[in-house]
Amino acid sequence: MILLKKAMDYNQYLVEHQMAATMLIYRYSEADIVSPGKDVTVLSPERRRLTLNDARYQLYNDAGVYANGVTLDDLKSTLATLRASDHDQGLSANVQESSTIISLIRDLAKMGLTVMGSRYVCDRVWDVDDDRRLVAALLHPQLIDDQPHSEAHEASTLAYDWENTVRRDRQPNGVNKVDEVRFTIQDQAGKPLLRLVPRERLGTVLYALRCGASPQQIREWLLWPRLEQLSLDYAQLSLLTCWQSESRKIVTLKDLLTLDDLTISDQGSGDACWYQFTAQSEKSRFGGAIPFTEAGEALSKIFHGHQYASDRAFSDGLAQLAQHVNLQIQRRQRRLFDIADIDRFKEAEGEIVDMSATGRDGHEGLPETVYEIIDLGSGRTLRYDLSINDLVMALLAFAR
């Protein structure tokens, strides 16, 4: 007697495991191919009409997140995998990416470079009111006194009209309520070459260094924010002062994965600082942190729309890496237009054919760039909706 496998009841499974599913509705542009020597690079400020509607899905409960930003087919595959297993297992840290990072750190050690990690906790936030006055002071700094101080103290003692430029300090909120790990890359003499590298960009920064890029190129490519006018329309610029833990040299995987355990001394005022663009609601960041010592140049280039001639070298290197393993990079512009909580899947013969959902108000996002990796042999999409760091890490994994 042949027993037919019972089709999955998606709604019943979600109820039994107290899970919820959310649909994110995006509008996408057509894909642009990134090839060596072409006008479109991975970092070029492309402007495209968003003509394609597509949905991505999240699956989660109180125990964790099981799918995040996936297609409907991948959501169904995730649910089928969960049903076949004896326990629910949320998305875990990407161990393969961490191992790749350690391999890159070892390569850089042979070049005389060291990676240090620290934990930062935000102490105070100072909101900037006058961008023009701030940039002028940062480009031509004159300190009120010439005694050695921490960066955070120096930032607050620049000789300019402080009260008309920056609002009184306040407690951090939202994404400015920082408690996170960042990295410094040092040369043989212990001099910092790159500072405040976020965890989500570390792999790409290390890859660029291994390829021979200069620290200035990497700041321009990967660390300083690149904001279009639409983002600036909704942006708030703030100075964050933070307490910093001791720095740990990263040599092993354990060194990397246990940085969150570093202790913080919260005595006195914060001893590290940077400028950060966020949404006015402080629910999201626009770009990366700008170290105080780099802020004059970085903010000037952001406000004046400066383009970086070195972008092509970085992009061509990635495109050539992809071609070496018969892959192709494509990029799209996209924008989030709606978020809806799925009330119920409509099923037929074990397949999801439709769904009912309740929309949330006020969740339209800003334009962003995402990347895809295509197998040139089959034409199949191997990865989609990647950030720039995820793109680099995926290409390095395929090339191993």
Residues 128 and 27 in one domain: no
Q: How far is CA 236 from CA 119, 167, 176, in A?
A: 24, 12, 11
Rounded average pLDDT over 277-290: 91
The pLDDT score that the predictor gives to residue 167 is 75
- Would you place residue 231 in the very low, low, confident or very high pLDDT band (cuts 50, 70, 90)? confident
Rounded average pLDDT over 158-169: 64
Domain boundary among 308, 331, 357: 308
Give me the amino acid identity at 45: P
Residue of 217, 220, 207, 222 lying closest to 321 (CA atoms): 207
The pLDDT score that the predictor gives to residue 164 is 65
Residues 108 and 78 in one domain: no
| Structure tokens given for 332 | 């799209």
Give yes or no for residue 224 having a pLDDT over 90. Answer: yes
Give yes or no for residue 144 having a pLDDT over 70. Answer: no
Dist CA 398 CA 400 (whole Å): 6
Rounded average pLDDT over 89-101: 73
Domain residue limits at 138: 99-308
Residue of 115, 332, 323 lying closest to 207 (CA atoms): 115
Q: Pick 129 or 157 by higher pLDDT.
A: 129
Residues 136 and 118 in one domain: yes
For the chain, percent of residues with pLDDT exceeding 90:
58
Residues 203 and 270 in one domain: yes
The pLDDT score that the predictor gives to residue 312 is 86
Rounded average pLDDT over 316-320: 95
- Would you place residue 212 in the very low, low, confident or very high pLDDT band (cuts 50, 70, 90)? very high
Mean pLDDT for all residues in the chain: 87
Residues 6+ apart with CB under 8 A from 333: 28, 29, 46, 47, 48, 50, 367, 368, 369
Rounded average pLDDT over 306-327: 88
Asked whether residue 131 is domain-assigned, the answer is yes
Q: Give the least confident one: 63-67, 333-337, 349-353.
A: 349-353
Q: Pick 352 or 186 by higher pLDDT.
A: 186
- Would you place residue 108 in the very low, low, confident or very high pLDDT band (cuts 50, 70, 90)? very high
- Would you place residue 347 in the very low, low, confident or very high pLDDT band (cuts 50, 70, 90)? confident
The pLDDT score that the predictor gives to residue 87 is 59
Residues 235 and 104 in one domain: yes
Residues 55 and 195 in one domain: no
Domain boundary among 239, 273, 308: 308
Q: Pick 308 or 81 by higher pLDDT.
A: 81
Query: Number of structural domains, the chain?
Result: 2
The pLDDT score that the predictor gives to residue 351 is 79
Residues 176 and 322 in one domain: no
Helix H or strand E encompassing 100 = helix 95-109
Residues 6+ apart with CB under 8 A from 395: 318, 321, 322, 325, 327, 329, 373
C-alpha dihedral (113, 114, 120, 125), degrees to nearest 10: -20
Asked whether residue 229 is domain-assigned, the answer is yes
